[in-house]
Amino acid sequence: MLQINNLKVSVNQKEILKGINLAIKAGELHVLMGPNGSGKTTLAQAIMGKAEFKVQSSKFKFEGKDISKLPVDKRARLGIFLAFQHPVEVPGVSVFNMLRRAKQSIQTPALRSLRQFGESSNASAPAKLGVRSRQGGTLGKTSPHAEAPRAIQEFREELKKYMDELKLPEDFSRRSLNEGFSGGEKKRSEILQMLALNPKLAILDEIDSGLDVDGLKIVAGAIKQFRLNDTGSSLILITHYARILKYLRPDFVHVMVGGRIVKSGKMGLAKQIEEEGYRFFSKTGLRGYSKPGL
């Protein structure tokens, strides 16, 4: 799914990532843990292709294709999704319309003409053309005349199901994206986007920060269900704490310190961090390094 070799990234001419090696197979959940400033968010942004994160050296492949030169929008169309640590407010753009347009934008190139036809005829385009369904395959493949209203209604019903799963109110999808949202609503909104867009690789950057016990259970439950849907999607979960992992079963846990992955292991590694903190890894540095298997 994702193969990273010797990733070095700088921001404002300062090297942040100093040689990351990471391999993620389809269906796996990898957890990145580490203290503030260790490079976790930089790694997430580099995978997503954000321009200000300058990749100095790397072999960067997604599903066997070199994506190192691709911009953010093309990586998104390939199926890479990033849930933001600090989502921005977008006044005047509803959650529903944002997600419907996002699905339209990642449809297969062969079907884009149908979207354009729907828009030019002043009708809503099929919301699910070329987008993977949770059961696999694609949805909404017939004529734009017949499918546009039906596809929109199907998407509305699908979104309602995910909102119920996340314990979000019925009017949530009509609200402007992140405007006036509580901290917990912003986190659940990011998970709602993941569920609706069904990416091949989802990167969740501190999705558990600021959540109370009930919110944490809801978000973790949705992530768990996302994995159980058997679409082969992979996840990278970035967190400071092991508490969300009590509800999930990661395949691998990686510790980042000073721009490097200094140790990789299983759930026991997260438990060690919970008991001892990051002081051991910070003190030992590369002496505690164990290179992740590729």
20 with 78, same domain: the answer is yes
**The domain spanning residue 234 has which CATH number?**
3.40.50.300
pLDDT at 119 exceeding the cut of 80: no
165 and 229 belong to one structural domain = no
32 located within any domain? yes
Residue 284 shares a structural domain with residue 226: yes
pLDDT band at 234 (very low <50, low <70, confident <90, very high): very high
Distance of CA 220 to the CA centre of its chain: 14
Distance CA 275, CA 66 (A): 39
The string of DSSP letters for 211-222 reads --HHHHHHHHHH
Specify the pairing of strand 90-94 against strand 176-177: antiparallel
Residue 126 has a pLDDT of: 30
Same domain assignment for residues 223 and 263: yes
64-73 pLDDT, tens per residue?
A: 898 888 899 8
In what order do the strands lie in the sheet containing 14-24? Answer: 14-24, 2-11, 54-62, 65-66
229: its two tokens = 């849907």
| Domain's final residue, options 112, 144, 174 | 174
d(CA 209, CA 216): 9
At 165-223, the pLDDT tens digits run: 999 999 999 999 999 999 999 999 999 999 999 999 999 999 988 889 999 999 999 99
Given a cut of 60, is residue 117 above it in pLDDT?
no
Contacts of 280 (CB under 8 A, 6+ apart): 288
For residues 12 and 153, state if they share a domain: no
Q: Residue 261 falls within a domain, yes or no?
A: yes
For the segment 212-235, the average pLDDT, to the nearest whole number, is 89
Longest alpha-carbon distance in the chain: 64
Residue 110 domain flag: yes
Tell me what pLDDT residue 205 has.
92
* Residue 205: its H or E element: strand 201-205
Supply angle C-alpha 127, 131, 132, rounded to 5.
135
Phi, psi of 241 (to 5 degrees): -125, 160
Q: Are residues 167 and 232 in the same domain?
A: no
Question: Is 185 part of a structural domain of the chain?
Answer: no
Residue-number span of the structural domain to which 221 is assigned = 2-84+215-288
Q: What is the mean pLDDT of residues 124-145?
A: 40
Say which residues have a Cβ less than 8 Å from residue 115's Cβ, sequence separation at least 6: 104, 107, 125, 126, 129, 144
Domain tally for the chain?
A: 2
d(CA 260, CA 73): 27
pLDDT band at 229 (very low <50, low <70, confident <90, very high): confident
In a domain? residue 197 = no
Residue where a domain terminates, one of 174, 198, 230? 174
| Residue that terminates a domain, selected from 122, 141, 174 | 174
The DSSP element (H or E) to which 178 belongs, if any, is none
Q: Is residue 191 part of a domain?
A: no
Sign of CA dihedral 271, 264, 71, 54: positive
pLDDT score for 282: 63
Reported confidence tier of residue 115, pLDDT bands at 50, 70, 90? very low
- Entry pTM: 0.80
pLDDT tens, residue by residue, 86-110: 888 899 999 999 999 888 777 644 3
